[in-house]
Chains A and B, each alone.
Chain A
Amino acid sequence: MSELEFRTAIRDALDEEIERDPTVVFFGEDVAAPGGVFMTTPGLHEKHGPERVFDTPISELAMAGAAFGAAVTGLRPVIEIMFGDFMALPMDSLVNQSAKFWYVSNEQASVPLVVRSAVGAGGRFGAMHSQIHGTWFQGIPGIKIVAPSNPADAKGLLKSAIRDDNPVIFLEHKRLYSVKGPQPAEETVPLGKAAVVREGSDLTIVSALRGVRDSLEAAEALAGDGIDIEVVDLRSLRPLDHETVLESVAKTNRLLVVEEGTRVGGWAGNLLGIVAAEGLHDLDDAWIVATDDTPAPYSPTLEDAWLPGPAEIARAVRERLGVASPS
């Protein structure tokens, strides 16, 4: 079977779920007739019609609010907030309406909606089109955050997110859209479950999104130095599957968390705190590789240096483990 491209995985998941469930509707800016600015949704409008797939005004707050109101009255909306950076605009509706409804209503009903966005730096987009907003929502109970790293997971996780009865924020890293990989083995991938994507015994590297690919690439390079690395792909940031991380650390005794985002207030720091509180006895070392505490820069030289890429991850591991860099 041919390989699956990440952007096609997104499209296929939407297509199949709109087909499967008549209550699923999909709307956003430039998603219908134009097919999405990252070409993730071409053909859905033509196939499923304007009742199911439609373009909206540039009104992110109205979009999230409309999705909330539609979700509590019987529909299962999927919306696209084009760039994750724009998520500051619909935040009131997501935080104060969708995330709170299940609990505050005394469980009268939940809010089944999905908010997809393109996230992350490295695309030369500048500071207002490069952020990963997952951390903005990290401290909000009642909203799930999904962060796939490969096409098969992207498809299975998006299908699970659409079928989930709760609000889900779905992150799509821009530098993954053109990545190809194996077709999914299963119809869906469970939310809130991490995956060990490379087994090793010397060090556990935990990451998400593009960081998983970069960590795998670094692990291959470090294998040449005789360092045997295990890589854990979190796949969801809330609920955060710390059990899988603790199991891995129990084996390797060392933990590196790689986050494309700032060290302060990020999910990496939160994860490190949980591992310290619950797995200190297994831990010989633990640290974080993250971005500088500045916005994402624009210039290619600055942006590449700002991102924690494979070379930076490998360099950090060698330095921490006292292994000389290859000349």
Chain B
Amino acid sequence: MAGTYRGHGHALAKGTDPEALAAEMLGRKTGVCGGRAGSMNVIDLEHGLVGCFGIVGGSIAAATGAAISAQRQGKVAVAFFGDGASNQGYFHECLNWAQVFGLPVVYVCENNFYGEFTPMASVTAGGEIGIRAASFGMQSQVVDGNDLWAVREAALEAVGRARGGDGPTLLECQTYRHYGHSKSDPGKYRPPDEVERWLARDPLDLTRARLLDLGLRDDDLAAKDAEIDGQMERTVEAALAAGYPDPEQDSGTEFKE
């Protein structure tokens, strides 16, 4: 799996230890990369995360290459990237490449409709990103990215296709950024009614509602929430308590000997 610079969820999904991830974001020596990578560039090979990439579109190439190995190993590679990356050379070159060679890879575009501050529609031709796959003869699907079940169903189908030797898939999962691009961005360039509309479709709330519909009890979900909140608090506390790497001890080398 190759993630974006906002790849913390990808890392957790692959099994990266939450405390090592939090410590990495805080530049601590107990971080999954010893504090050398930071929030945007997490790598955890032990858990199949070949990297999170600070350059948009980088993940697309990394997964395409991993798929060359995966094809030989009976595995599947996955790339996550944003709507902005679909206008990079990486996207067009790699989707063509993967289809030509029938690689077992799933390209997951997390379309949140903004490339940093700029609305996707004002810089992206053709409307949906998913339809771009058609020009390569590639299977694709546009998915409600805030619907956990819809995403799961589409992902299972795409992974199954890759595993079955039927080549790559492009999934466009439409979603939204609930906050600004970064801590210094209040996100005021977005129309308030648009923000409200999307916040009303918070995937956590939608999932909770669906779980209740399926018969789970509100008390049980609340208890689970409390359990995870407590776990996260302890995780962050432990990460904060860990020391910074000592420049005298961290004698990094340029090359592997």
Q: Which A residues are within 8 Å of any B CB, using their own CB?
A: 25, 51, 56-57, 59, 61-62, 64-75, 77, 89, 92-93, 96-97, 100-110, 141-142, 144, 165-166, 239
Contact = CB atoms under 8 A, between A and B. Distances in A.
A61 B90 contact: yes
B21 interface: no
Given A70-B68, A110-B256, A57 B61 contact: no
A141 to B, nearest CB: 5
Given A97-B51, A108-B45, A62 B64 contact: yes
Nearest to A96: B55
Contact of A64 (B61, B63, B69, B100): B61
Nearest to B89: A61
B77 interface: yes
Interface string B50-67: 110111001011111111
B36 A103 contact: yes
B7 to A, nearest CB: 14
Contact of B45 (A65, A72, A92, A96): A72
Contacts of A74: 69, 73
Give 3 closest A-B pairs by Cβ, nearest first. A69-B65, A65-B61, A62-B93
Contacts of A106: 32-34, 36-37, 43
B70 interface: yes
B23 to A, nearest CB: 12
Given A104-B36, A108-B45, A110-B256, A56 B65 contact: no
Nearest to A55: B100
A73 B50 contact: yes
26 contacts: A56-B97, A59-B93, A61-B61, A61-B89, A61-B90, A62-B97, A64-B61, A65-B58, A65-B60, A65-B61, A65-B62, A66-B94, A69-B2, A69-B77, A70-B65, A73-B65, A74-B69, A77-B65, A102-B253, A102-B254, A104-B37, A105-B51, A106-B43, A108-B45, A142-B254, A166-B256
B96 interface: yes
Contacts of B64: 62, 65-66, 69
Contact of A105 (B43, B54, B94): B43
A51 B50 CA distance: 23
Contacts of B43: 101, 104-106, 108
A56 B64 CA distance: 13
Interface residues of B, number: 43
Given A62-B90, A108-B33, A69 B256 contact: no
B255 A102 contact: yes
B252 interface: yes
Residue of A92, A102, A141, A166 with most chain B CB atoms under a 10 A cut-off: A92
A190 to B, nearest CB: 12
B50 A65 contact: no
B55 A69 contact: no
A141 B87 CA distance: 29
Nearest to A103: B252
A97 B61 contact: yes
A66 B97 contact: yes
B33 A105 contact: yes
Given A59-B96, A166-B256, A66 B53 contact: no
Contacts of A62: 61, 64, 90, 93-94, 96-97
B244 to A, nearest CB: 14
B41 interface: yes
A228 B139 CA distance: 69
B37 A69 contact: no
Contacts of A107: 252-253, 256
B46 interface: yes
A65 B254 contact: no
A96 B72 CA distance: 26
A144 B66 CA distance: 23
A67 B50 CA distance: 13
Contacts of B89: 61, 89
A119 B255 CA distance: 25
Contact of B70 (A51, A73, A93, A100): A73
B68 A108 contact: no
Contacts of A25: 68
B167 to A, nearest CB: 15
Given A69-B66, A72-B51, A73-B68, 12 more contacts: A25-B68, A62-B90, A73-B65, A75-B68, A93-B58, A97-B58, A105-B37, A107-B256, A108-B43, A108-B46, A142-B254, A144-B255
B214 to A, nearest CB: 38
Contacts of B66: 69-70, 72-73
B30 to A, nearest CB: 11
Contacts of B61: 61-62, 64-66, 68-69, 93, 97
Most buried by B among A62, A70, A72, A109: A62
